[in-house]
Amino acid sequence: MNVYLDSIGCRLNQSEIEGYARQFRQAGHTLVATLPEADLLVLNTCAVTAAAASDSRQRIRQARRAGVSDIVVTGCLSTLEPESIQRMAGVTRVVPNRDKDRLVPDLLQIELPPYELEPLERQPIPGERHRTRATIKVQDGCENKCTFCVTTVARGESRSRPAAEIIADIRAELAGGAQEIVLTGVHLGSWGYDFERPAHLKDLVMQILAELDMPRMRLSSLEPWDLAPDFFDLWQDERLCRHLHLPLQSGSAATLRRMARKTSPRQYAALVRAARQRIPGVAITTDIIAGFPGESEREFEETQAFVAQMAFAGAHVFTYSERAGTAAARMAGSVPLAERKARSAALRRLTAQTAAAYRQAHIGQEVNVLWEGMQTDSESGWQLTGLTDNYLRVMARAPQPIWNQFTAVQLTASIPDGLLGEICHLPDTIRLA
């Protein structure tokens, strides 16, 4: 069977799709790069914003138009609105989040041996999901009730995967050629809290770094209240990427209280200060919501001032959108949509400036880049793109396509959303994609 895998939204959705890729291959099926080639589509949907939900529906319609006969839909949108998804033309099966870990064996009506018993050569998912980083799910669900968040509604209570299982997955990915491991979850920082003998994410990271050797490991989004300053001692190990994504959501204490966020601007600032002291050159990126119910002009000014003070290396700015089933959707004080959008635009301009300043500070430095994208270039053969450990996007030219390999690069200029550089030395052997 020809299978097309697709996901929208968070890294966790991506890691689940990568897991399905391994299982379908293990079962002898072929992954294809385009919808017209596919017999089956498995789509991992998102519902975090109205835009993500509409994008999910759009992907189903596209598959229908492309003639895909079997459309299986899982993820947050299909969990929150199963009936309406089931009614969409071409949808043959809806798998809610609580059953998604068994999606492939249930669909194929077979039992699959644990992956690590027969690791397959790492073959990235064909088409646009051609990645070098292996995203590993360590935890699902969340016990917090941030009032704007529909994910906690769609994914249920927090549940951590055992360390042994996580390490087996990572070992298999490394055996298959992955150069960077990304740990992810709905609420990554709560890993281990639900164990009989509670543990902390710090314990898991230490165990992984002690038991496995890998070029790089990155942690995805971390809620600030899960981290104590000594968490940053982990970065004495240079394999850990100097990148922390710490969702702020608002810089106003009053707005944060209405969001039921377990932090304050003062606590957040102290954590960022501790991180910058212990991890030189660390990139701090964040998520911010503009136009949350009740957000007065004054509260928004507080947010702007705080965001400027934090000088983020990057940010996702979301225009608040009501999500059915969340407490915020029932709150008074709705901010007019045009005003929400104006506030988002102002925050995007502000964070683009601080991100540009962060990039500019690296001009002239020599950095290590993991190459992950390429296109032919008339002038010199190939235009490569890749990432540094501190999440700088770098472009450089090369006579040959380099993929899933590291090279040293001299950074020469800043461009929108990235940096230009010159490769210091080409690898002795070029691993072709």
Q: Is 354 left (phi over 0), alpha (psi -120 to 50) or beta?
A: alpha
Length of the chain: 433
Q: What is the rounded distance in angstroms from the CA atom of residue 202 to the CA atom of residue 74?
A: 31
Q: Find tokens 């304050």 and name the residue.
A: 264
Shortest distance, position 19 Cβ to ligand SF4, whole Å: 20
As to burial, measured by CB atoms within 10 angstroms (0-12 exposed, 13-18 middle, 19+ buried), residue 197 is exposed
CB of 12 to ligand SF4, least distance (A): 10
Residue 293 or residue 421: which is nearer to ligand SF4 going by CB?
293
> Judged by CB under 6 A, does residue 10 bind ligand SF4?
no
Provide the β-strand partners of residue 426: none
Find the binder of ligand SF4 among 144, 365, 383, 410 (CB under 6 A).
Answer: 144
Considering only 151, 184, 319, 390, the residue that binds ligand SF4 (CB under 6 A) is 151
When binding is defined by CB under 6 A, the residue of 47, 134, 174, 186 that contacts ligand SF4 is 186
C-alpha–C-alpha distance, residues 157 and 141, integer Å: 5
Nearest-5° Cα angle at 182, 113 to 160: 60
How many helices (H) and strands (E) would you count in the chain?
Answer: 12, 17
DSSP of 355-366, one letter per residue? HHHHHHTTTT-E
Q: Is 201 in the site for ligand SF4 (CB under 6 A)?
A: no
Stretch that binds ligand SF4, among 3-11, 139-147, 207-215, 313-321 (CB under 6 A): 139-147
Q: How far is the CB of 223 from ligand SF4 (least distance, A)?
A: 5
Q: Are 38 and 45 in contact (CB under 8 A)?
A: no
Give the integer Cα–Cα distance in Å for 52 and 75.
12
CB of 5 to ligand SF4, least distance (A): 24
Q: Is 263 in the site for ligand SF4 (CB under 6 A)?
A: no
Segment contacting ligand SF4 by CB under 6 A, of 121-129, 145-153, 288-296, 361-369: 145-153
Residue nearer to ligand SF4 on the CB measure, 256 or 355: 256
Q: Which residues bind ligand SF4 (CB under 6 A)?
A: 142, 144-146, 149, 151-152, 186-187, 223
